[in-house]
Structure formats: structure tokens, C-alpha cells
Homo-oligomer: A and B are copies of this chain.
Amino acid sequence: MNVIAIHGGAGTLRKTDMTAELENAYRGGLEQALTLAYENLKNGGTSLDAVAIAVKSLEDYPMFNAGKGSVFNSIGKHEMDAAIMDGQYLKAGAVCGVSNIKNPVLLAKAVMQQTDHVLLSGEGAMQFARQVGVEMEEDAYFFNELRHQQWIDLKESEVFQLDHSDKKFGTVGAVALSSDGNMAAATSTGGMTNKKFGRIGDSPIIGAGTYANNKTCAVSCTGHGELFMRSVVAYDISCLMEYKGMSLKDACQLVVYDKLVKIGGEGGLIALDNNGNIELPFNSEGMFRGCIDKDGNMKIEIYR
């Protein structure tokens, strides 16, 4: 059984600001990522490769806040975070605060596969990237007029933005189940516009924004990272299933619509279980999301 689900961030544009043209462009990016990842799965590829392929595709697409489309931080640079986890061996790799890395998810995968570490940060992580030959890009590659204007609008203020003025939580992620029963999850983000102080959110934190375990589920989150970190959201879903015997659906409902709402934790997540069930819950106005289910049906949605 092959299943893939992806997200391109929660919050989204307000529905009133969305044009048909913009919507088509977002949908195109999601469709491309789904198609590439599903092709890999159908050809016998691993769920781990599938989530890396999907997230790479979203990172390369300039409309999502990750990779090429990353927002500007307070000094006009791009600082990105990413994580990947293999549900079969409970192995994980992650990077935070990296710049000029074309695909942070591939760097996270290299951390998982080529080191004994889980999380590498900042300049050190980039040194590792150069050593293993992960693809680098100049600042110009990440330049985007819209993102730049968002930063210019904010940079004299003390305001951090989770993506832009209408609270789009910019993150991308993928979860997959391959026919061998293995699951994986990956998440990547460009952070918050005008962010300062080397702030790190939930995306690269195993258990918070990203988690996979063949016994239970694969999860990738998007939303107000601080609240997701304090709630250890991704591992919470797994524990509710493993220790309380909840279904994936019930665990997702409890966490996203009850626990997170109570603390003001806006956002959502994508999740799979080992029977190929898919959940894409969010408590924000929208979440860019899509999946190809066990019957091969593709679905792409933005609003409720």
C-alpha cells in the first residue's frame, strides 16, 4: 500500500485575498510534489525517499516558505530549519539555522544517514553540508520580491511574522507509507519574517514538529511553533495511539481541535497510520494540503 500526504503551511492567505490565479499556482506546487513522491513509491521506493522527494519539490517551489521561498529574517538573510524521521528504525536527522542550503531536507537526511547525530545547527551544520557536498545556492537564489517587501514592511518594527501579515504559518511537510509497511515524516521551513535572536520553531524538533514510528503514525506539523513545542504535538499523537489505544483520527481530533485550541495553538498537521489512514486536521482558516490515498486518489485542498 502506497500513501503520501503533504502540506504547504497552515493559516494560508485569507480566503478573500485568494485569486483564482494564485490558487492555481499553489495547487500546481502541491500536485507536483505529490506526483513525484507517489511515483517513487509506486516504483518500489522507500517512504523515507518519498517524503524527501515531496519536501524537496515544495522547497524548490517559490510560493511556500521553505527552501527557495524562505522568508527574510531580521537582518535580511534566510535561516532555514528541517527534519526527517524514519519510522522503521526511529532514526532522525535535523538541521536548524542554516543558510544557502538549496534543500534543507536533504541536509537533514544526510545528518541522519551520515552522522551519529540528530540535530546540527548554524555555521557548523553548513560546514557539514560543504563536507558532504549538499547543494548550496547564493543569496540571490532565495531572493523573492514578495518576501523582500514583507520584510521591508516589518524590519523597523519589533514584530515577527510567522509568514506574513495574515498569519500564514509557512512550513512544508510530508508523510508517507510505502508498500513494505514503513512510514516516514519530514518538515522544512524558512521560519518567520523578520525573526530575531536565532529563534527555532517546532519543525526541526523530533517529537514536536516531526515524528514517525511504524508502530503508530507519521506526523508533520505546521503552525505556531512555540505552542507545538510546548505540547510536543507529533509525539503526543503517537502516544495517544500507542498508550491509550486511540485511532489516528481520534488522536488528531483531540490534539488539534481541543488541546491546541485551549492554549491558542493555531495550525494543523498531516498524519498517516500504518493502515494507510490519512488525517489532515487544522484549526486555522486554511492549510495548503494534499494526499494520494491507498486507492490512488489524489486530493488537494486549501480551505475548510
Contacts and interface: CB of A to CB of B under 8 A. Distances in A.
Interface of A: 90-92, 96-97, 115-125, 127-128, 160, 196-201, 205-208, 211, 225-226, 229-232, 235-236, 239-240, 243-244, 263
Nearest to A225: B118
Contacts of A121: 96-97, 121-122, 198-200
Contact of A239 (B90, B160, B236): B236
Contacts of A200: 96, 119-121
A124 B90 CA distance: 31
A244 B240 CA distance: 9
A117 B192 CA distance: 12
Report the 4 A-B pairs with minimum CB-CB distance, sorted nearest first.
A124-B198, A239-B239, A121-B198, A243-B243
Contact of A229 (B119, B122, B240): B119
B90 A231 contact: yes
Nearest to A240: B243
A240 B240 CA distance: 10
A240 to B, nearest CB: 6
Most chain B beta-carbon contacts within 10 A, residue among A119, A122, A160: A119
A167 to B, nearest CB: 14
A229 B206 contact: yes
A197 B96 CA distance: 11
A243 B239 contact: yes
16 contacts: A90-B230, A90-B231, A92-B229, A97-B122, A117-B226, A118-B230, A120-B198, A121-B121, A121-B200, A122-B123, A122-B198, A127-B197, A206-B208, A206-B229, A207-B207, A235-B239
A124 B97 CA distance: 10
Contacts of A123: 122, 198
Nearest to A116: B226
